[in-house]
Structure 1
Protein backbone atom coordinates (compact mmCIF):
# COMPACT_ATOMS: atom_id res chain seq x y z
CA UNK A 1 0.00 0.00 0.00
CA UNK A 2 2.87 2.36 0.78
CA UNK A 3 4.27 1.68 -2.70
CA UNK A 4 0.96 2.75 -4.26
CA UNK A 5 0.95 5.91 -2.19
CA UNK A 6 4.51 6.71 -3.28
CA UNK A 7 3.54 6.23 -6.93
CA UNK A 8 0.49 8.43 -6.43
CA UNK A 9 2.62 11.11 -4.79
CA UNK A 10 5.18 10.90 -7.62
CA UNK A 11 2.40 11.15 -10.23
CA UNK A 12 0.93 14.13 -8.38
CA UNK A 13 4.33 15.84 -8.35
CA UNK A 14 4.78 15.10 -12.07
CA UNK A 15 1.34 16.56 -12.81
CA UNK A 16 2.11 19.67 -10.78
CA UNK A 17 5.50 20.08 -12.47
CA UNK A 18 4.14 19.66 -16.02
CA UNK A 19 3.86 22.76 -18.12
CA UNK A 20 2.47 23.35 -21.56
CA UNK A 21 4.76 24.46 -24.31
CA UNK A 22 2.64 26.53 -26.66
CA UNK A 23 4.38 28.16 -29.58
CA UNK A 24 4.47 31.93 -28.99
CA UNK A 25 2.02 32.55 -31.86
CA UNK A 26 -0.54 30.15 -30.33
CA UNK A 27 -0.05 31.62 -26.86
CA UNK A 28 -0.57 35.15 -28.18
CA UNK A 29 -3.71 34.06 -30.03
CA UNK A 30 -5.11 32.38 -26.90
CA UNK A 31 -4.43 35.44 -24.75
CA UNK A 32 -6.01 37.74 -27.35
CA UNK A 33 -9.12 35.56 -27.47
CA UNK A 34 -9.32 35.40 -23.66
CA UNK A 35 -8.98 39.18 -23.39
CA UNK A 36 -11.86 39.54 -25.86
CA UNK A 37 -13.94 37.05 -23.84
CA UNK A 38 -13.14 38.96 -20.66
CA UNK A 39 -14.53 42.07 -22.33
CA UNK A 40 -17.64 40.17 -23.42
CA UNK A 41 -18.20 39.02 -19.83
CA UNK A 42 -17.93 42.61 -18.59
CA UNK A 43 -20.44 43.53 -21.31
CA UNK A 44 -22.89 40.86 -20.10
CA UNK A 45 -22.52 42.16 -16.55
CA UNK A 46 -23.24 45.70 -17.72
CA UNK A 47 -26.27 44.45 -19.68
CA UNK A 48 -27.65 42.87 -16.49
CA UNK A 49 -26.94 46.03 -14.50
CA UNK A 50 -28.77 48.08 -17.15
CA UNK A 51 -31.79 45.76 -17.22
CA UNK A 52 -31.18 44.85 -20.86
CA UNK A 53 -33.84 42.67 -22.45
CA UNK A 54 -33.22 39.03 -21.43
CA UNK A 55 -33.09 37.66 -24.97
CA UNK A 56 -30.30 40.10 -25.85
CA UNK A 57 -28.33 39.04 -22.76
CA UNK A 58 -28.86 35.37 -23.57
CA UNK A 59 -27.58 35.92 -27.11
CA UNK A 60 -24.47 37.59 -25.73
CA UNK A 61 -23.96 34.68 -23.32
CA UNK A 62 -24.21 32.29 -26.28
CA UNK A 63 -21.49 34.31 -28.04
CA UNK A 64 -19.27 34.08 -24.95
CA UNK A 65 -19.79 30.31 -24.75
CA UNK A 66 -18.93 29.93 -28.45
CA UNK A 67 -15.77 32.00 -27.94
CA UNK A 68 -14.75 29.85 -24.95
CA UNK A 69 -15.38 26.72 -26.99
CA UNK A 70 -13.06 28.13 -29.65
CA UNK A 71 -10.31 28.62 -27.07
CA UNK A 72 -10.91 25.08 -25.79
CA UNK A 73 -10.66 23.61 -29.30
CA UNK A 74 -7.43 25.46 -29.94
CA UNK A 75 -5.95 24.26 -26.64
CA UNK A 76 -7.13 20.71 -27.26
CA UNK A 77 -5.57 20.63 -30.73
CA UNK A 78 -2.25 21.92 -29.42
CA UNK A 79 -2.40 19.49 -26.48
CA UNK A 80 -3.00 16.52 -28.78
CA UNK A 81 -0.25 17.50 -31.21
CA UNK A 82 2.35 18.15 -28.54
CA UNK A 83 1.82 16.90 -24.97
CA UNK A 84 -0.23 13.79 -25.75
CA UNK A 85 2.00 12.66 -28.62
CA UNK A 86 5.10 13.29 -26.50
CA UNK A 87 3.79 11.29 -23.54
CA UNK A 88 2.64 8.41 -25.76
CA UNK A 89 6.10 8.29 -27.37
CA UNK A 90 7.54 8.05 -23.84
CA UNK A 91 5.25 5.06 -23.20
CA UNK A 92 2.97 6.96 -20.81
CA UNK A 93 -0.43 5.47 -21.60
CA UNK A 94 -2.08 7.23 -18.63
CA UNK A 95 -2.34 10.27 -20.88
CA UNK A 96 -5.19 8.54 -22.73
CA UNK A 97 -7.26 8.22 -19.54
CA UNK A 98 -6.41 11.81 -18.63
CA UNK A 99 -7.52 12.96 -22.07
CA UNK A 100 -10.77 10.99 -21.87
CA UNK A 101 -11.59 12.58 -18.50
CA UNK A 102 -10.93 16.02 -19.94
CA UNK A 103 -12.99 15.30 -23.05
CA UNK A 104 -15.95 14.23 -20.90
CA UNK A 105 -15.75 17.55 -19.05
CA UNK A 106 -15.54 19.53 -22.30
CA UNK A 107 -18.51 17.71 -23.84
CA UNK A 108 -20.92 18.33 -20.95
Structure 2
Protein backbone atom coordinates (compact mmCIF):
# COMPACT_ATOMS: atom_id res chain seq x y z
CA UNK A 1 0.00 0.00 0.00
CA UNK A 2 1.31 3.42 -0.87
CA UNK A 3 2.42 6.02 1.64
CA UNK A 4 -0.25 8.40 0.32
CA UNK A 5 -3.01 5.99 1.31
CA UNK A 6 -1.45 5.38 4.72
CA UNK A 7 -1.28 9.16 5.19
CA UNK A 8 -4.96 9.51 4.25
CA UNK A 9 -5.91 6.81 6.75
CA UNK A 10 -3.85 8.50 9.45
CA UNK A 11 -5.74 11.75 8.84
CA UNK A 12 -9.05 9.88 9.07
CA UNK A 13 -7.92 8.30 12.31
CA UNK A 14 -7.03 11.74 13.69
CA UNK A 15 -10.40 13.14 12.67
CA UNK A 16 -12.24 10.27 14.33
CA UNK A 17 -10.19 10.70 17.51
CA UNK A 18 -11.11 14.40 17.51
CA UNK A 19 -14.82 13.54 17.18
CA UNK A 20 -14.51 11.01 19.98
CA UNK A 21 -12.89 13.59 22.27
CA UNK A 22 -15.58 16.14 21.44
CA UNK A 23 -18.31 13.66 22.34
CA UNK A 24 -16.52 12.53 25.51
CA UNK A 25 -16.18 16.18 26.53
CA UNK A 26 -19.92 16.53 25.90
CA UNK A 27 -19.31 19.15 23.24
CA UNK A 28 -22.44 21.24 23.04
CA UNK A 29 -21.91 22.45 19.49
CA UNK A 30 -23.75 19.62 17.74
CA UNK A 31 -23.24 21.20 14.33
CA UNK A 32 -19.46 21.19 14.79
CA UNK A 33 -19.52 17.53 15.86
CA UNK A 34 -21.65 16.58 12.84
CA UNK A 35 -19.36 18.53 10.49
CA UNK A 36 -16.36 16.66 11.87
CA UNK A 37 -18.18 13.34 11.43
CA UNK A 38 -19.05 14.21 7.83
CA UNK A 39 -15.46 15.27 7.14
CA UNK A 40 -14.11 11.99 8.50
CA UNK A 41 -16.66 10.00 6.49
CA UNK A 42 -15.69 11.83 3.29
CA UNK A 43 -11.98 11.41 4.01
CA UNK A 44 -12.45 7.66 4.52
CA UNK A 45 -14.38 7.42 1.27
CA UNK A 46 -11.57 9.22 -0.58
CA UNK A 47 -9.00 6.88 0.99
CA UNK A 48 -11.09 3.90 -0.12
CA UNK A 49 -11.31 5.26 -3.66
CA UNK A 50 -7.54 5.80 -3.78
CA UNK A 51 -6.95 2.26 -2.49
CA UNK A 52 -9.30 0.78 -5.11
CA UNK A 53 -7.58 2.72 -7.88
CA UNK A 54 -4.16 1.54 -6.72
CA UNK A 55 -5.37 -2.05 -6.39
CA UNK A 56 -6.90 -2.06 -9.87
CA UNK A 57 -3.68 -0.72 -11.37
CA UNK A 58 -1.75 -3.48 -9.60
CA UNK A 59 -4.16 -6.16 -10.89
CA UNK A 60 -3.90 -4.90 -14.44
CA UNK A 61 -0.09 -4.86 -14.31
CA UNK A 62 0.20 -8.47 -13.11
CA UNK A 63 0.21 -11.48 -15.38
CA UNK A 64 -3.14 -12.63 -14.05
CA UNK A 65 -5.25 -14.84 -16.30
CA UNK A 66 -8.05 -12.88 -17.96
CA UNK A 67 -10.96 -14.73 -16.27
CA UNK A 68 -9.38 -14.23 -12.84
CA UNK A 69 -8.67 -10.57 -13.58
CA UNK A 70 -12.24 -10.04 -14.79
CA UNK A 71 -13.66 -11.66 -11.64
CA UNK A 72 -11.48 -9.52 -9.37
CA UNK A 73 -12.37 -6.33 -11.20
CA UNK A 74 -16.09 -7.15 -11.01
CA UNK A 75 -15.78 -7.71 -7.26
CA UNK A 76 -13.95 -4.40 -6.86
CA UNK A 77 -16.58 -2.52 -8.84
CA UNK A 78 -19.42 -4.06 -6.80
CA UNK A 79 -17.65 -3.20 -3.55
CA UNK A 80 -16.99 0.37 -4.68
CA UNK A 81 -20.68 1.03 -5.23
CA UNK A 82 -21.42 0.16 -1.61
CA UNK A 83 -18.92 2.62 -0.09
Query: Normalised by the size of structure 2, how large is the TM-score?
Result: 0.76
RMSD over aligned Cα atoms: 2.0
Any residues of structure 2 matched to 1:1-108 within 5 Å, and which?
22=1, 27-52=2-27, 53-83=29-59, 85-86=60-61, 89-108=63-82
Runs of 4+ in 1 over 3 A off after TM superposition: none
Gaps of 5+ in 1: 1-21
CA distance in 1, matches of 2:34, 2:70: 36
TM-superposed CA distance for 1:102, in Å, is 3.2
Structure with larger Rg:
1
Distance 1:55 1:99 in 2: 39
Q: Any gaps of 5 or more consecutive residues in structure 2?
A: none
Q: Would you say how many aligned residue pairs link Structure 1 and Structure 2? A: 81
Q: Which fold has the larger relative contact order, with Cα–Cα distance below 8 Å and residues 6 or more apart in sequence?
A: 2
